[in-house]
Amino acid sequence: MTTTVHEGTVATEPAARATVLDGVGMRFGGAHPVHALEDIDIEIGDGEFVAIVGPSGCGKSTLLRIVAGLLKPTAGTVTVRGKTAAQARRDVEFGFVFQSPVLFPWLKALGNVLLPDRILGNRSPTHGPDIEQRARRLLDDVGLRGFEEHYPGQMSGGMRQRVALARALIYEPSTLLMDEPFGALDEFTRDRLNIQLLDVWNKARSTVLFVTHSIQEAIFLADRVVVLSPRPGRIVRIADIPFPRPRSLDLRYEAAFATLTGELRGLLEIEADDGVAPDEATSWQ
């Protein structure tokens, strides 16, 4: 194991607020050893939106968990705003949105959004007497006004995922890590959530690391798209996405968008896009 630890101080210049992955590699041992990631070098700027795209099993989720300080890489280092990933996790720099909403079914929508604040208390920068108002505003931002008192069991999959997004934003994390958050949703719900995500990101201006297997989604959302190859996950290309913001869904029908999509798809051997199973008919309010 060649993990070195950079115990740094938080500096104020932009470069010091970056997320830097330096030669990150990951091997899982055990009966069936897997070489999940190799030589991942990326520098993500403060407030940048970076999408990671690649076929199933290319270690995208593993990479996200390494950045979050949930997994320790077997090679290389991760530095988040001058701190190790583990230290950044302890300092609650991250918001994490999982593939499934991971809501607590015994809490209503509002209670779920407030959960991080209840756990963090004074450690949350937004903690204070008007936290509930903030939670209601976030639910409003993700299009869930009027659903504050609904239990997760009374909401559709898309609505639950939006509660999960609001929950991740309640304590204003500096970095938002999203692990195929809309992968289980139908296309229409996904489109709408993409727009809402850009909208709340525009307000929060946190750094976003967004994992997806949809090339279109990655290009539509991100400033840069990192294309990973499968087994071991290696960076094939880091593509700059030139489209101006704010972006509308119509962007996807422009020629330049199609060209870029085709280009990146060509880099991936398997057809990773459109592999979305609309497993759930989402009812809109």
Partner 1 sequence: MAVDDSNEVRRMSRWRALLPAGLLFVLSLVAWQVAVTVLDVPVYIVPSPIQIGQELIDSGASLVSDLGWTMLEAVLGFGVGSGIAFLAAVVFVHAPMIERAAFPWAIVLQTIPIIAIAPLLTIWFGFTLVPKVVIAAIICFFPVLVNTVRGLRSVSGQALELMSVLSARASSVFWRLRVPSSLPYVFAGLRVAATLSVIGAIVAEFTGADRGIGFVIVQASYRIDTRLMFAGIALSSLGGIGFFGIIGWIEKSILRWPDARVSVS
- Binding residues for partner 1 (CB under 8 A): 65, 68, 70, 89-92, 94-96, 98-107, 115-116, 118-120, 123, 151-154, 160
Alpha-carbon distance of 86 to 81, in angstroms, equals: 12
Q: Are strands 224-229 and 49-53 parallel, antiparallel or unpaired?
A: parallel
Alpha-carbon distance of 80 to 46, in angstroms, equals: 10
Compute the least distance from the CB of residue 94 to partner 1, in Å: 5
Compute the least distance from the CB of residue 242 to partner 1, in Å: 33
CA distances in angstroms from 131 to 97, 138, 169, listed in the order given: 20, 11, 12
Compute the least distance from the CB of residue 202 to partner 1, in Å: 23
Minimum CB distance to partner 1 smaller for 100 or for 196:
100
Compute the least distance from the CB of residue 103 to partner 1, in Å: 6
Compute the least distance from the CB of residue 219 to partner 1, in Å: 27
Minimum CB distance to partner 1 smaller for 55 or for 116:
116
List all residues 6 or more positions away from 24 whose beta carbon is below 8 Å from its beta carbon: 37, 39, 40, 41, 63, 66, 73, 75, 76, 77, 78
What count of other Cβ atoms lies within 10 Å of the Cβ of residue 132?
13
Alpha-carbon distance of 265 to 120, in angstroms, equals: 42
CA distances in angstroms from 53 to 14, 94, 103, 235, listed in the order given: 26, 20, 26, 10
Alpha-carbon distance of 184 to 160, in angstroms, equals: 12
Compute the least distance from the CB of residue 248 to partner 1, in Å: 32
Minimum CB distance to partner 1 smaller for 101 or for 230:
101
Alpha-carbon distance of 35 to 27, in angstroms, equals: 4
With both helix axes pointing from N to C terminus, report the angle between 109-120 and 157-169 in degrees, rounded to the nearest 10: 30
Minimum CB distance to partner 1 smaller for 94 or for 257:
94
Minimum CB distance to partner 1 smaller for 123 or for 137:
123
Minimum CB distance to partner 1 smaller for 92 or for 251:
92
